[in-house]
Amino acid sequence: MTTTARYDNGEAASVVLEQPIVRVSGFVKRYKKHVAVQGVDVAIRKGEIYGLIGPDGAGKSSLMKAIAGVLTYDEGTVEVFGTVVDSERAAERVKQRIGFLPQGLGLNLYPDLSVEENIDFFARLRLVPEQELLERKARLLAMTRLEKFRNRAMKNLSGGMKQKLGLICTLIHEPELAILDEPTTGVDPVSRRDFWSILAELLQEKGMTALVSTAYMDEAARFHRLSFLSNGKVLVSGTPTEVQALVPGSMVTFEASPQLEAITRLKQTFQQVEALGPRLHVFTKDLDPAQAVQHIEASLGDIKPDQVRVDDPELEDVFVSLLLQQAENRQVSAIPSAAKPTDNHGLAIEARQLVRDFGPFRAVDHVSFQVKQGEIFGLLGANGAGKTTVIKMLNGILPPTGGEGWVAGADMKTAGGTIKERIGYMSQAFSLYLDLTVVENIRLFAGIYGLDGRATDQRLNWVMSMAGLKGYESNLTGRLPMGVRQRLALGCALVHQPRVLFLDEPTSGVDPIGRRHFWDILSKLAREEGVAILVTTHYMSEAEHCDQLALMYAGRIVAEGSPGDMKQGVEKEAGHLFEVVADDPGKALLELRRAGFAGAALYGTRIHLFCRDPVRDKDCACGVLESSGVKVRSASMRPLSLEDVFVYKVMALERQDRATTQEAAA
């Protein structure tokens, strides 16, 4: 059959497809008077990964729940495996063939059961034969790095580990159709890569079909086809290449000083201007690189750009451009002055040899670092590395097994109450009351922190404006889209004007525009108000905002420095980074690893690999691919990203651990 992919500019592209196994026509979903999804059409064919992307509240989750048979709808038809899902009885006929992972950490799991007990429960519920269960369980636990946590209760897992366990339980019966609502939210970059390996193998070996939503735009490049939803409607559909072609232009990256003045000038001409540490990223509509740079220079005037690089726009740039065409760019409101910090030799946070044991398991192993007032400090690491435990100790929530710490001039062991008054804390698991409205949550937190009526009213108005919550005042918090809920959580953490801010994965599941807005707020808090910020994140592009970084692995800090320092260290150790674009990325990756490029990894549909001798190794890699029948479209050297640094460091440490274990066993 032939289907037509229509775009918001009226253009169309014909694509030859097999008979769809999911067909959605004229889909409408209302929540009382609010129309969440209106008139959506989607067709998903067997064996493909179909993506849903879009901002928070676009209607993605509602559509996915209806296809999974767990949500009713108001108009249109939803057909799955030839069955029209219009009743509970009809839904039961297809549920055995479906695996559904809802949005949110561990929502499909049982908190008091262990990792293995949760997997066994779901497998037996789905009638998986015992021998197949043993094989699949071993494989999935190994791929998700949860093998050594088999006996840990689900409620004691980190957020990312809960997400990975939820994914295993969804896939354990090898469903014909997997419906995964933001499955990699809160999952570290190495584990995200492993998730896509699992999905690719199941698609190839079992002919499985997947419907996936994501907030990571590099992942959207892996979809065979996708639909981009906004305000409950499909804005654009097609292959990633077709969608990318709808917003032609160039992405110009450079350094300019003074940066704040450069940003002010650039924003008068360009809609997309983003600061990532010392570098600026500007999207221009110019296709010619030289012309794009000329327009940047003209906007900057007497400020001269340095280290200029011009690239094709990524899917995230396209995504943001399409959204900005529909809505005015939201400005960050002025931030009232925070109280002056208590002096601790200029330090806002200091950790000295912190240790935390849970029985025989050491979660944090002699961790030390310092955060200055007005500094943004990033704590990076894989799921379960110990980041959240460090934050909880510094906040006075968990007592340390050993070591010392000071926060906002107070000793964390003896001044827990004082610390809580001086800090803002946004936890990984949402520190909000879900059965209260947005306004009720803000007023509650203002009361907890001792604000009087007048101060509460002032801070309420500021939080509503700062976090973009207008229009949501009376909404129950539990029904808010994840990104909106995260902005509310930040507002509640800031309601008492803290001098130190702890943020544990604050933008998990938040769309690109929401993340950029979020970081505008954080940058102003740090640069203009002198607030110290300690943040954990799995968006490595966000880590570029940090002044200093510490990478944790197995409870220890294994690398520390500025983003630039960490990149230079890896480049010195591993060599130059090359990006290979090939017609069959999966096969290309396999062939490169067989040829000895052990660090080769997929980034979207592109492959990154390190080369110590740029000319020799590049020619070798291209030769290997061409001889195996893989067509190389391009191979070029590119600057290291922090994601490259993270993956390289973590994989090297894992190889070292495996070698140590094998030596001990021998």
Exposure string over 410-448, b if 16+ CB within 10 A, otherwise e: bebeebeebbbebbbbbbbebebeeeebbbebbbebbee
What is the per-residue pLDDT for 93? 93
The tokens for 95 are: 């549920």
What is the amino acid identity at position 137? K
- What pLDDT shows up at residue 195? 81
Which pLDDT belongs to residue 357? 95
d(CA 254, CA 293): 10
Q: What is the structure's pLDDT at 332?
A: 47
Are the C-beta atoms of residues 188 and 172 closer than 8 Å to each other?
no
How confident is the model at residue 500, as a pLDDT?
Answer: 93
Dihedral (C-alpha) 625, 626, 632, 636: value to the nearest 10 degrees?
Answer: 70
| pLDDT tens digits, 461-511 | 989 988 888 889 999 998 887 778 888 898 899 899 898 999 988 887 677
Q: Which regions in the chain score pLDDT beneath 50? A: 1-17, 328-335, 337-342
Report how far residue 587's alpha carbon sits from residue 143's, in angstroms, rounded to the nearest whole number.
19
Question: Tell me, what's the pLDDT at 13?
Answer: 37
Tens digit of each residue's pLDDT (9 = 90 or more) over 383-423: 888 999 999 999 888 999 999 999 988 888 877 677 777 88
What is the pLDDT at residue 393? Answer: 92
Are the C-beta atoms of residues 161 and 383 closer than 8 Å to each other?
A: yes
Token look-up 């030799």 returns 345
Spell out the domains of the chain, with CATH numbers in brackets: 2-243 (3.40.50.300), 250-312 (3.30.70), 347-561 (3.40.50.300), 564-665 (3.30.70)
Q: Which two tokens stand for residue 123?
A: 């497998």
Q: Check residue 8 and give its pLDDT.
A: 38
Spatial distance between the Cα atoms of 494 and 453, rounded to a whole number of angstroms: 17
Q: What is the separation, in whole angstroms, between the first and last Cα of the chain?
A: 59
- Tell me what pLDDT residue 52 has: 94
pLDDT at 650: 86
| Per-residue confidence (pLDDT) for residue 325, from 0 to 100 | 72
Q: Note the pTM of the prediction, 2 decimals.
A: 0.78
Q: How many CB atoms lie within 10 A of CB 478?
A: 12
